[in-house]
Amino acid sequence: MRYFKRIFQTEFKAIPSAILVIAGICIFGSFIHADSWWRIISFAGLALTAITISLPVRDVKSLLTVLGIVPFTRKVIYYSFGGIIFGIFLGVAYNSIKTDWLFPQNLTTFAITAALIGITEELVFRGFVQYRSASAGALLSILLASSGHTLYKFLVISTVPIDLNTDIPSLVTLTFLVGIVFGIMREVSGSVIPPVIAHALFDIIVYGGASLAPVWIWS
């Protein structure tokens, strides 16, 4: 009973900063593919995100805290192994549907970039957003982080100036559902490390063999 009471708490003190971060990153996603001066708006959104995240930061320790990076405990290590398994499963499942191989035939230098993109997204959404909205309860914080990430992904993909032939409904649904799992991992482990590992591994397995970045990343 206490668990459900904690989930449905309604202390919304830190939620505005979480919403500002989502707004900023979504502005970035909406205009990053725009032409000339319109692209400046995207970097303004990115600046809004960075400034909002930096406001509660006083030192390195507080920075790690707001991003969900906590000291390794036995629980964090256990769930990190779960993150490894889940990330590999997601990557293999995706490749089994979209490609003729389960793992990249060879890793290119883009594998590093792919991993960094996944890590950054987790630090922003499961790290900062979920942490800052946690006072409203675990359920709302998980839903808010997953919804924000899904909206960002939708905007980045849908605003590409060429037809990617993307199944948008499936993209939105899967991003949201996987985000829920990532959020639960972050909540029960108390750390952003498990979902960071899972997301990074997924991106490496799916994009690590690419010689060029997908057009929706830089177009």
Q: What is the pLDDT of residue 14?
A: 66
Distance CA 127, CA 182 (A): 11
Distance CA 179, CA 173 (A): 10
Distance CA 164, CA 180 (A): 26
Q: What is the pLDDT of residue 2?
A: 53
Q: What is the pLDDT of residue 5?
A: 47
Tokens at residue 126, please?
């499961």
Q: What is the pLDDT of residue 219?
A: 47
Ranges of the chain whose pLDDT falls below 70: 1-14, 211-219
Q: What is the pLDDT of residue 83?
A: 97
Tokens at residue 78, please?
């256990």
Locate the domains of the chain by residue range: 2-207
Q: Where are the alpha helices (DSSP H) in the chain?
A: 2-7, 15-31, 38-54, 60-66, 74-98, 110-122, 130-132, 138-158, 168-189, 193-207
pLDDT tens for 153-207 read 999 998 887 777 778 899 899 999 999 999 999 999 999 999 999 999 999 998 8
Q: What is the pLDDT of residue 11?
A: 47
Maximum C-alpha span of the chain = 55
Q: What is the pLDDT of residue 214?
A: 65
Tokens at residue 191, please?
């750390």
